[in-house]
Amino acid sequence: MRAHKTVRQSVSLPANIAAQVRSLAKTRRLSANRMLVELIENGMEAEKRRQQEFFDLAERFRSATDPEEVKRLGDRMGRMVFGD
């Protein structure tokens, strides 16, 4: 098993976010640092899933032949890019 190299990183958080992190950490009996790592990892995984969902949707859009389906998929892609 390989040890993961750690890098010390300083991050400034708004006070309300820092309080939420501390509260979550306390609830889960983790350090605030470990809680931040978990939140960041979860956020990165969610971002990768959103990106994959977009690429899958773009592929469906490119291969769609039904005009109604093309419009529906195009609208959905627009919402993903520009928001609701």
Residue closest to 83 by CA, chosen among 50, 59, 56, 58: 50
At residue 6, what is the residue type? T
Residue 7 lies in a domain: no
Q: Check the CA dihedral 41-43-44-46 and report its sign.
A: positive
* pLDDT tens digit sequence for 4-39: 888 999 999 999 999 999 999 999 999 999 999 999
* pLDDT tens digit sequence for 54-69: 999 999 999 998 989 9
Residue 68 lies in a domain: yes
Residue 25 lies in a domain: yes
Residue 75 lies in a domain: yes
Q: Is the pTM of this model over 0.75?
A: no
Residue 6 lies in a domain: no
Residue 63 lies in a domain: yes
Residue 77 lies in a domain: yes
Question: Which of left, alpha, beta for 8 (phi over 0: left; psi -120 to 50: alpha)?
Answer: beta
- Tell me the pLDDT band of 1, cut-offs 50, 70 and 90: low
Residue 5 lies in a domain: no
Range of the domain at 34: 15-82
Q: Is the pLDDT of residue 84 over 80?
A: no
Q: How many domains does the chain have?
A: 1
* Residue 81, C-beta contacts closer than 8 angstroms, at least 6 positions apart: 54
Q: Give me the count of residues in the chain.
A: 84
